Amino acid sequence: MVGIGNCWIEPGVEFRFRDIQIGDGSYINTGSFFEGDPPVVIGRNVAVGPYCRVLTRSHELDRGERRAGPLTYGSVTIGDGTWIGASVTILPGVDVAPGCVIAAGAVVAKSTAPDGLYAGVPAHRIRDLQSHHGKPG
């Protein structure tokens, strides 16, 4: 299911599968890649920087002769008002909470809490951000 609101998607963005939803006012920059099997849900007013990857598939860790075992799956949600910096990777099963900023180059391996700045590999909360209610997150 593809559900694309009133948003802007630059040329060179790749959607590998069809279970993608993008909310109104969102922006997807060039070179970004989205799997979408299982679903990827992008909220309203989300900004995705260039060359980001949103993955919904991985592998179980297997025996030594072949470490990449059977496929695993996990949907991804990116909450309203979030800013995903350039070259961010979001791994399967992650929910990026509303109002977050994910710093350029971060790898988001675990779900986030609202209104936070996350950076690093793996990404961790650097500081609280003011929420849309005017209070720190």
Q: Which residues are catalytic?
A: 59
Both tokens of 136, joined, read 């720190």
**Pairing mode, if any, of strands 116-119 and 124-128?**
antiparallel
Q: Which residues pair with 136 in a beta bridge?
A: 130
Sheet containing strand 116-119, edge to edge, reads: 8-9, 27-28, 47-48, 83-84, 101-102, 116-119, 124-128
